[in-house]
Copies of this chain bind each other. A is one copy, B any other.
Amino acid sequence: MAKGRPHVFLSARGDLLPRWLEAFPAAIGARIGDRVEADVVPSAAWVRLADEPVAATLEKARRQVGAAVPCIVLADHPNDEEALVAFAAAARGYCNTHAAPELLSRIADVVAQGGLWIGESLMQRLLRATSHLPSPPLSPANPPWESGLTARERQVALAVAAGAANKEIARQFDITERTVKAHVSALLGKLGVRDRLQLALVVNGQRSR
Contacts and interface: CB of A to CB of B under 8 A. Distances in A.
A201 B87 contact: no
Interface in A82-113: 82, 84-85, 87-88, 103, 106, 109-110, 113
A115 interface: yes
Contact of A84 (B106, B127, B165, B198): B127
Nearest to A202: B163
Nearest to A123: B116
B123 A81 contact: no
A145 B116 CA distance: 30
Contacts of A56: none
The DSSP consensus for interface residues of chain A is helix
A130 B139 contact: no
Contact of A133 (B82, B129, B139, B194): B129
Contact of A201 (B80, B123, B125, B163): B163
A139 B201 contact: no
23 contacts: A84-B127, A84-B131, A87-B123, A87-B127, A87-B130, A88-B138, A106-B110, A110-B110, A110-B115, A114-B120, A125-B138, A126-B126, A129-B129, A129-B130, A132-B204, A132-B205, A160-B197, A162-B201, A163-B197, A165-B195, A196-B197, A197-B200, A200-B201
Interface of A: 79-82, 84-85, 87-88, 103, 106, 109-110, 113-120, 123, 125-127, 129-133, 135, 138-140, 160, 162-163, 165, 193-198, 200-201, 204-207
